[in-house]
A and B are shown apart, each in its own frame.
Chain A
Amino acid sequence: MSFINYSSREINCKIVYYGPGLCGKTTNLQYIYRRMNPESRGRMISLATETERTLFFDFLPLSLGEIRGFKTRFHLYTVPGQVFYDASRRLILRGVDGVVFCADSQLTRMDSNVESMENLRINLREQGYDADRIPMVLQYNKRDLNPVASVAELHSLLNYRNGPEFEAVAPTGVGVFETLKAVIKLILIDLKKGKR
């Protein structure tokens, strides 16, 4: 649920990076944090374990300039990917405006990707969303590793909505901003239509 303040002319939207454990959700946010102009981003908060696994969420606020006199602010969150943190994932999905599903391209992680996508659909439904209509972009991360599934395989396993999809190598930034831009566009188009 976006927050639109006509008084201060601001739009606030929430983007959640979802996906299996160790797929690179936090790495996406870290890259965005490093590359954004400091004036356009706030502090990045990571609620993580001592071994740097996400415990609750990562949070990165971005300001992307104005459209039609409205300042646009996007709050980026990641969920903890490990299976047993499901209660936390449900909480973080509350009020989400758009989802980036980050998949791990490694062949050995295909089951985890499918399981995480199923889990996302279940949790979206529990929060009252239509899992087939909420703005969503897929990112096939870790394309630099071997052996990885082909994009066609990943597409057939995960991209059931035939939505935007991007190959990525998050630590070096390949595909990171393309993914972010795509989900922001979908959110703004959805906001304009007021479809949810």
Chain B
Amino acid sequence: MTRGHFILHDKEYEGFQSVLKRLLADSYAKVVFLVDKNGSLLATAGETEDFDTTSLASLAAGNIAATGGLASLIGEKEFSILFHEGERDNMHISVVANRLILVVIFDRRSSVGLVRLRVRRAAVDLERILREVDAKAGQEEEGGIEELTEADIESLFQ
């Protein structure tokens, strides 16, 4: 039993990856990644080896959380898009289905307008996959977490 946890199976994971790959190509981005609102990295596409994706995921989630706090202080539900402009690289961060965070890093080969347009289309596909994730949420999988034993847990510390 794993209710209350975010569980990603092969099919939906591959679905996320394929949406990100298409977004990467269509938006001429350097790297695209998908994060949950708690800062866990779900999927990536592009030149990820140049980036510390774990830290990026955590800070993107922190960024969305902080701006969400600001939004509620002025009576807004959320700021669903953030854009950070750098000297070389830019970052477009958007909230998908109120649960996921889609981050696109791009340089002068692309533009914020193009990224915004492509992100909108990708968000529709990501939402569809997220609904499939939710539909499978109750399913148990062979060799899953529910089979963990105390000895397994203890083995982590030996």
Chain A residues packing against B (C-beta within 8 Å): 1-8, 11-12, 14, 42-43, 45, 47, 56-57, 59, 61, 64-65, 67-70, 72, 75, 87-88, 91-92, 94-95, 181, 184-185, 188-189, 191-196
Contacts and interface: CB of A to CB of B under 8 A. Distances in A.
- Tell me if A's interface is mostly helix, strand, loop or mixed: mixed
Nearest to A3: B40
8 contacts: A1-B38, A4-B8, A6-B7, A45-B59, A59-B55, A75-B58, A88-B66, A91-B62
A135 to B, nearest CB: 12
A4 B6 contact: yes
Interface of B: 1-10, 13-14, 36-40, 42, 52, 54-55, 58-59, 62, 65-66, 68-69, 141, 143-148, 150, 152-157
A189 B149 CA distance: 8
B156 A67 contact: yes
Given A2-B6, A45-B55, A185 B143 contact: no
Contacts of B6: 1-4
A40 to B, nearest CB: 11
Contacts of B8: 3-7
Contact of B36 (A3, A56, A70, A195): A3
A72 B146 CA distance: 15
A130 to B, nearest CB: 11
Given A7-B10, A45-B58, A94 B145 contact: no
A7 B14 contact: yes
Given A1-B6, A65-B156, A91 B66 contact: yes
Contact of B153 (A69, A88, A189, A193): A189
Contacts of B153: 67, 185, 188-189
Contacts, number: 124
Contact of A3 (B1, B42, B69, B148): B42
Contact of B152 (A1, A42, A68, A184): A68
A75 B40 CA distance: 9
A68 B143 contact: yes
Contacts of A185: 153-154
B9 to A, nearest CB: 5
A61 B156 contact: no
Given A42-B55, A68-B152, A4 B39 contact: no
B145 A14 contact: no
Contacts of A95: 36-39
A70 B145 contact: yes
A5 B13 contact: yes
Contacts of A61: 54-55, 58
Contacts of B141: 6
A191 B5 contact: yes
